[in-house]
């Protein structure tokens, strides 16, 4: 593996239809994540995309997690907050390729999560796109 810094633990969220896995990539203050959405009824199901966290209003009281890696889209806001930068409690999911929102709730993370394997899966998927 290269010099990429990865978070040790993922953040896991769920809706009634989707499971979202978010892993920090880079330094903690970079606000960049690898995000995977499972349960999407299209070709984006289970794909991992690099996301940057960006202010969604002039005061930065809300933010979006944006990717430019989804084929056919200039950008896609996968997750939008309705609260502050440091609060991951009020999140809305826009599953890749689906213009429909779903509220996310925090879920337990798996005991056997391997951040390096997740990153390698991302790299493999990225080369296939």
The pLDDT, as a whole number, for residue 5 is: 94
Residue-level pLDDT at 1: 45
| pLDDT over 80 at 2, yes or no | no
**Segment 76-106, tens digit of pLDDT:** 999 998 765 555 568 999 999 888 899 999 9
Per-residue pLDDT averaged across 16-34, rounded?
A: 93
> pTM surpassing 0.75?
yes
Q: pLDDT band at residue 3, thresholds of 50, 70 and 90?
A: confident
The 3-class secondary structure across the chain, one letter per residue, is: CCCCCECCCCEEEECCCCEEEEEEECCHHHCEEEEEEECCCCCCCCCEEEEEEEECCCCCCCEEEEECCCCCCCCEEEEEECCCCCCCCCEEEECCCCCCEEECEEECCCCCCCHHHHHHHHHHHHHHC
Domain ranges within the chain, ordered by starting residue: 11-128
pLDDT of residue 72: 87
């Amino acid at each position: 593996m290269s010099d990429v810094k990865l978070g040790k633990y993922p953040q896991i969220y769920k809706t009634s239809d989707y499971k979202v896995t978010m892993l920090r990539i880079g330094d903690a203050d970079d606000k960049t994540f690898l995000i995977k959405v499972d349960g999407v009824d299209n070709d984006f199901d289970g794909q991992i995309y690099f996301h940057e966290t960006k202010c969604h209003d002039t005061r930065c009281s809300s933010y979006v997690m944006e990717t430019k890696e989804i084929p056919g889209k200039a950008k896609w806001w996968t997750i939008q907050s309705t609260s502050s930068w440091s609060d991951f409690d009020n999140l809305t999911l826009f599953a890749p390729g689906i213009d429909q929102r779903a509220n996310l709730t925090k879920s337990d993370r798996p005991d056997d999560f391997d951040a390096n394997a997740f990153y390698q899966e991302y790299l493999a998927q990225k080369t296939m796109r």
